[in-house]
Chains A and B, each alone.
Chain A
Amino acid sequence: MTFPKLVIFINALIPLVLLLWDLYHKRVGPNPLEFATRTTGMLTLIFLSLTVAVTPLRKIFGVNALVKYRRMLGLFAFFYGALHLLTYVWFDRLFNLASVAQDVVKRPFILAGMTAFVLMVPLAITSTNQMVKRLGGKRWARLHRVVYVAAIAGVVHFWMLVKSDTRLPLTFGFIVLFLVGYRLFVKYAPPQQPGAGVNLFPPR
């Protein structure tokens, strides 16, 4: 593992370590289970946002090296997403899978969250170098654009469950929409004429 990767790895695990520490020491408020679910959900959205931010950041600031850390960020999003799902299946449904299935069918916000998670599964599975090779770069890249759908579904899931204060989900929403919008803009915007002005988005 290169040093920058190690830095990301350690920092990405810090919230989990602190969460477990706080749970053990009962410093998570009167409803620890809800707290664990909320925190892991929030972490999933944070890591999903970081993952989809990599390409725009690379292009805007010309730091191509960032791509080396995208996989790790994406896998952490999946990791926290899996923990989030586990806390719900465990603490909220008590491993009653039939009631989980019922919930998915009946409750749109659970459906949105489940969709986000299910979409992340193939991305996590095909995250290895070998899989990139087997799929071929182009097909792999096309498949992995699903991450945008997962991110949007994740934000919708969060937005649907709050009662009235939507500021936080909307913040995540703006971030994800900005990043999606940027990708679409770069893809479909008319190419700039040479000398037409400063190119904010140098082709790479």
Chain B
Amino acid sequence: MAEKLKVTDKSVYLNRRTFMRGAVLAGTATASTLLYRRLNPPPPEKVEGDKLATTENAPKEEAIRQGYSVADTLTPLEAITNYNNFYEFDTSKSGVARAAKGFVTRPWAVSVDGLVNKPRVFDLDELLKFPLEERIYRLRCVEGWSMVIPWIGFPLQKLLEKVEPTSQARYVAFQTLLDPERMPNQRTGVLDWPYVEGLRLDEAMHPLTILATGLYGETLPPQDGAPIRLVVPWKYGFKSIKSVVKITLVSNEPPTTWNLQAPYEYGFYSNVNPNVAHPRWSQATERRIGEYSRRDTLLFNGYGEQVAHLYQGMDLVKNF
């Protein structure tokens, strides 16, 4: 008995095809979205610090005159804690916060030695007992962006006075913690670890040079150099070494990490200077984080009145 051949109805066939095509589009679109999201910066990390007590602030105008404060708008905490150059954790600025989360900063000690009469190791708790001040500084990164950060800290001078540098001491060398277990990116070779920096002794003794232990009234978040870091506001950001464990007084100019990495691009001084271009980009302007236009970069990052005398008679182009 001949049966009628069953041909799939055309509309069913077309429906199936439409369905399959829809599925392919939806599937690939989802895959593309997920792929793009992986390359995207992660959502900002929230930080939780402990409150830090500070001494009474001087009146604003007085503080501005001394360079201890600026009239500019503060950069929001979220930006300060999610846009970081801290290669020990991650080379992507948006990735540092996540990679540094949970970084253990206790116990922590800073040894201060070298050409000093009283070398010693300071425990973090001792360091936090120095009278802490709020310093609102501009921070200018060598990459061409800037922020305004309300640091909490104390002048490095106060610490150095305690160890009594000898008369041979002319420079100060700093060193970041070396511990690939806690600073995972130290397993890579993107820089020579540990990170080292240095200042001339008179730069280190300058009242604007501080050791910061906090920002926005609380302890330093890991991504900003917890538990203690250097801040030298008239120099490019990389001079302000983070998570310091060792300070050594020396007689000769100490090696510095970025100078070792690229001697023609990063000098020992690295004072903010709009007239001396980085070999690969101009330093004449900067993008203040949160602003859409660019602003002019100021000589010594606007701290010329306070620090220009340190470089009297020096060729700033040669000593970049």
Q: Do A and B bind each other?
A: yes
- Chain A contacts to B: CB under 8 angstroms: 3, 6-7, 10-11, 14-15, 18, 22, 27-31, 33-35, 39, 42, 91-92, 94, 103, 106-109, 160-161, 163-165
B29 touches A14 (CB 8 A): yes
A103 surroundings in chain B (CB, below 8 A): 282
How far does the Cβ of B75 sit from chain A's closest Cβ, in whole Å? 8
**Binding site secondary structure of chain A:** helix
A14 touches B36 (CB 8 A): yes
Total residue contacts A-B, CB cutoff 8 A: 78
**Binding site secondary structure of chain B:** loop
- Chain B contacts to A: CB under 8 angstroms: 21, 24-25, 28-29, 32-33, 36-37, 39-41, 43-44, 75-76, 78-79, 82-83, 87, 91, 93-94, 143, 145, 188, 190-191, 261-262, 277, 280-282, 287, 289-290, 292-294
B28 touches A7 (CB 8 A): yes
A164 touches B190 (CB 8 A): yes
Output the residue of A6, A106, A164 with the most chain B CB within 10 A: A164
B289 touches A30 (CB 8 A): yes
How far does the Cβ of B140 sit from chain A's closest Cβ, in whole Å? 14
B287 touches A31 (CB 8 A): yes
How far does the Cβ of A136 sit from chain B's closest Cβ, in whole Å? 36
B82 touches A29 (CB 8 A): yes
If A29-B94, A106-B277, A108-B280 are given as contacts, then 20 extra A-B residue pairs at C-beta distance below 8 Å, sorted by A number, are A3-B21, A7-B24, A7-B28, A11-B29, A14-B32, A14-B33, A28-B40, A28-B41, A29-B83, A31-B83, A31-B93, A34-B145, A91-B292, A94-B293, A106-B282, A107-B282, A160-B280, A163-B143, A164-B190, A164-B261
A109 surroundings in chain B (CB, below 8 A): 280
A106 surroundings in chain B (CB, below 8 A): 277, 282
How far does the Cβ of A52 sit from chain B's closest Cβ, in whole Å? 20
B94 surroundings in chain A (CB, below 8 A): 29
Can you name 16 A-B residue pairings with CB atoms under 8 Å? A7-B24, A29-B41, A29-B83, A30-B75, A30-B76, A31-B145, A31-B287, A33-B287, A42-B39, A91-B292, A94-B294, A106-B282, A107-B281, A108-B280, A164-B91, A164-B262
Complex: how many Å from CA A31 to CA B85?
13
A35 surroundings in chain B (CB, below 8 A): 41
A164 surroundings in chain B (CB, below 8 A): 87, 91, 190-191, 261-262
How far does the Cβ of A49 sit from chain B's closest Cβ, in whole Å? 14
Output the residue of B41, B190, B262, B292 with the most chain A CB within 10 A: B41
Complex: how many Å from CA A27 to CA B33?
15
Complex: how many Å from CA A39 to CA B39?
9
Q: Which residue of B lies closest to A42 (CB)?
A: B39
Q: Given A7-B25, A94-B294, do A165 and B83 touch, yes or no (CB 8 Å)? A: no
How far does the Cβ of B82 sit from chain A's closest Cβ, in whole Å? 6
How far does the Cβ of A3 sit from chain B's closest Cβ, in whole Å? 6
A92 surroundings in chain B (CB, below 8 A): 294
B41 touches A107 (CB 8 A): no
Complex: how many Å from CA A160 to CA B278?
13
Output the residue of A14, A35, A92 with the most chain B CB within 10 A: A14
Complex: how many Å from CA A94 to CA B291?
13
